[in-house]
């Protein structure tokens, strides 16, 4: 069993489904006003290189609700790579806290922290992967139907969210369609990683440049911002490239039953229309809520002694 939560592909289908079941239980308890104090006395360090609303609030609130405590660390305060090496930061934090959540640009930085830390490292988002979001998405889908009976379609930029959805589908045996421009399709290494996993699980994953082809008959249509953090200089060019991939009423005409998903923040009237984002088919705020519960399940899984989950 891995020490860290860096990628959903590091875990077995059974382990991910156990985390999902615990997330569902924690959601039920939360709504009933119950707060199991499973992480009482434990401390999570949260390192942020990127701005954050959902990741920051849900991890800090999640630790508090489970009886623990979170400490916010900022790059200008810690200076990983300038004041101190990743090795020394990881070794110091391992002496003081019980886990680290890192939200960084470089995926390699999170990998280095995990290599040198004796405590669990959780990937809160990197430029390559967003595994905590994928687990919240899995929980959101599971609240509607059995995930392995669903057809999920991702439309837009082949970014970190798309990468984690591909790996999640591959591990669990889900049906996933990905529609992106040829110039912005998911990187080859993601599909190379997913292919053997999909062979074992029976997952059906395909890519198309045609959003209409991918969306037709889907149960869930998912999109994300066309311009991620650090790509602001490309924003205008990306608007032109991705214009045919906007999730709107016309695109969803061939999937009348489809629910709409977005990990937020959204640029309304760019990748998705407000009509759909705020409409009856939207699961967007369910996804945001489930970040809290999915991450609490992840925190318990990696921070509690093995066998206590």
Q: Which residues are catalytic?
A: 103, 130, 133, 224, 263, 291
Q: How far apart are CA 50 and CA 30, in angstroms?
A: 28
Are the C-beta atoms of residues 166 and 178 closer than 8 Å to each other?
Answer: yes
- The Cα 62–Cα 299 span in angstroms is 9
Strand partners, 196: none
CA separation for the pair 307, 293 (Å, rounded)? 20
The first and second tokens of residue 251, run together, are: 């695109």
Locate all alpha helices (DSSP H) within the chain, ordered by sequence. 13-31, 54-65, 75-78, 86-96, 107-116, 131-142, 160-172, 188-201, 211-215, 235-242, 274-277, 284-303
């Amino acid at each position: 069993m891995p020490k860290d939560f860096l990628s959903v592909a590091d875990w077995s289908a059974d382990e991910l489904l156990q985390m999902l079941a615990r997330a569902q239980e924690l959601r039920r308890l939360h709504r009933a006003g119950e707060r199991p104090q499973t992480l009482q006395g434990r401390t999570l360090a949260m390192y942020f290189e990127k701005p954050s609303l959902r990741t920051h609030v849900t991890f800090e609130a999640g630790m508090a609700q489970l009886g623990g405590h979170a400490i916010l660390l900022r790059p200008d305060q810690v200076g990983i790579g300038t004041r101190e090496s990743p090795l020394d930061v990881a070794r110091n934090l391992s002496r003081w806290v019980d886990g680290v959540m890192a939200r960084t640009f470089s995926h390699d930085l999170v990998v280095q922290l995990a290599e040198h830390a004796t405590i669990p490292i959780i990937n809160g988002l990197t430029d390559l992967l967003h595994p905590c979001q994928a687990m919240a998405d899995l929980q959101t889908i599971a609240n509607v139907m059995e995930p392995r009976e669903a057809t999920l379609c991702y439309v837009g930029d082949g970014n970190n969210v798309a990468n984690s959805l591909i790996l999640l589908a591959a591990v669990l045996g889900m049906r996933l369609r990905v529609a992106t421009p040829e110039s912005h399709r998911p990187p080859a290494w993601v599909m190379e990683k997913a292919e053997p996993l999909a062979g074992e699980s029976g997952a059906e994953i395909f890519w198309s440049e045609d959003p209409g082809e991918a969306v037709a008959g889907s149960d869930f249509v998912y999109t994300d911002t066309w311009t991620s953090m650090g790509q602001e200089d490309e924003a205008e060019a990306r608007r032109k490239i991705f214009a045919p991939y906007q999730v709107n009423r016309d695109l969803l005409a061939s999937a009348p039953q489809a629910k709409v998903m977005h990990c937020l923040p959204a640029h309304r009237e760019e990748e998705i229309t407000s009509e759909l984002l705020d409409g009856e088919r939207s699961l967007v705020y369910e996804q945001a809520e489930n970040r809290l519960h999915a991450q609490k399940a992840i925190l318990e899984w990696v921070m509690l002694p093995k066998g206590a989950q």
